[in-house]
Amino acid sequence: MNYFSSDFKLGILGGGQLDKMLLNETRKFDIQTYVIDPSAEAPSKIACNKFFQGDLMDFDTVYNFGKQVDVLTFEIENVNVDALEKLEREGVKVYPSSKNLRTIQNKATQKLFYLDHNLPTSTFSRFAYASEIEDAIANGGLKCPFVWKSTQFGYDGTGVKIVRSLQDLEHLPKGECIAEELVDFKTELAVIVARNTSGEVKTYPVVEMEFHPEANQVEYVICPARLPEAIAKKAQDVALAVSKAYNHVGLLAVELFLTKDDKILINEVAPRPHNSGHQTIEASYTSQFEQHLRAILNLPLGETKSKLGGIMVNLVGAENYTGDVIYENIEAIMKMEGVTPHIYGKKQTRPFRKMGHVTIVNENLNTAREVAEKVKNTIRVIS
C-alpha cells in the first residue's frame, strides 16, 4: 500500500486531543481519516476528512463505522470490543488488536496477564463488588492502606483512590474493582514502546512523572528521567518484556513504579499515544503520534532519540472554575525560551479537566524544569 498516493482510509475511534494530535501527523501522508466521537464538539472534528457522532460502546455504531475503513485504531480504551472482533474476522485491520484491548480494558484481567507472564507488578485482590472489600478487611484478608481501582472506565485520576480507612470506602462505585498493594515507590516512570506489524520494535527514553497530590494526574513529564543508566535500562527491559507478551501493534505506554529498593514494577499500560509522550512532538526526532502511524501502517519506525531535554506540563482546569474556557497569561509563557503551548480546543473547562499541555525544551534539563515551574505558576485555565 502506497500511503502517499492512495484512497486509503484510516478510522479512529475517539475524537479527543490525542486524535487531534495524531491527525496533525496524517497530513504528512495521502490518507483519508474518518473519526467517530460521542461529542459533536470533539477537538479532532476540525482536522479529519469525515466526522461521525456516535456511542463508542454501542456495537452497531462501532461495527458500521469500522466497515468503512481499511485500518482502525483508537485513542481511548472504552470502546465496544465485540464489534472490533467481528470487524477483524471480516478483514478490517484493527491495531492494537481486539484481543489486547479486551485484556487491557479491565484492570483485573490486565493484572492477571502480568502474573501469567511472570512480569513484575504489585500484589492485588479482585472483588466482584466493592462491598466485599469491607468483609475482606474484617476477616483479615486485606489491610489498609491499599489502592482501590475500578476495573473499568477509569481515566485521568477517576476510578482510583487510596484507601487508608473504612471511611474512604464510602461513596465509591459499587461494581467490580481491585485492591492493590500501596507501593512505597521513589518515582513513577513510563516507557513508550512502538511495534509495527513486521515486528520491528523501538523504545523511547524513560520518562519521569510528577503527579498532582490530590487529582492523581500527571503535572510534569520529564524526559529523560533523572536516573542512573542501569535503572533506566532495567525500566526499558521491563517495558520491552511487556510489549513482547502482548505482541501488540502500535504504541504501548508502560507506566512503572521505581521502588525504594530499586525494583521496577508495572503499574498499568495504555495501547495508544499517551500523556507521557507529548513532549516527543518538540523534543524527539519522531513524535509518538507519527510513530503510532508508522507502526499501524507497517512503515519503518522512526528514530526515538531526543534532540533536546523535554518537559511537558499538563494544562488542567483550575479549581472552582466551570464554564467557557479562558487561558490566562498565555502570551507571558510564550515569551519564555523553548516554550510551546498546545491547546486542545475543548470549549468547556472544569476542575482538573485536561485542556492542553505545554512543552519546554532546553539542552539543560534542569533549566527546562525551572522554566516548567514558571509556566505552571503563570498560566491559568479559568472560565
Give the residue numbers of the binding site: 107, 149, 180-183, 188, 267-268
User: Is the CB of residue 235 less than 8 Å from the CB of residue 264?
Assistant: yes
Q: Please state whether the peptide bond connecting residue 205 to the residue before it is cis, i.e. omega within 30 degrees of 0.
A: no
Given phi > 0 = left and psi -120 to 50 = alpha, else beta, which region is 116? alpha
CB environment 49-76: b (16+ within 10 A), e (fewer):
eebbeeebeeeebbbebbeebbbbbbbb
The C-alpha torsion from 110 through 112 and 115 to 117, rounded to 10°, is: -60
CB half-sphere exposure, 76, CA atoms < 13 A: 22
Hey, CA dihedral for 41, 44, 47, 48, is it positive or negative? negative
> Virtual CA dihedral for 277, 280, 282, 287, nearest 10 degrees?
-120
Phi, psi of 324 (to 5 degrees): -60, 130
CB 201 within 8 A of CB 193: yes
Q: All 3 cell numbers of residue 311?
A: 518537559
CA 255/CA 276 separation, integer angstroms: 9
DSSP 340-358: EEEE---SEE-TT-EEEEE
Residue ranges for the known binding site for ATP are: 107, 149, 180-183, 188, 267-268
Classify residue 301 by its DSSP letter: P
Report residue 310 CA to chain centroid gap: 18
**Torsional sign, CA 49, 55, 58, 61:** negative
Alpha-carbon span 111 to 105, nearest angstrom: 11
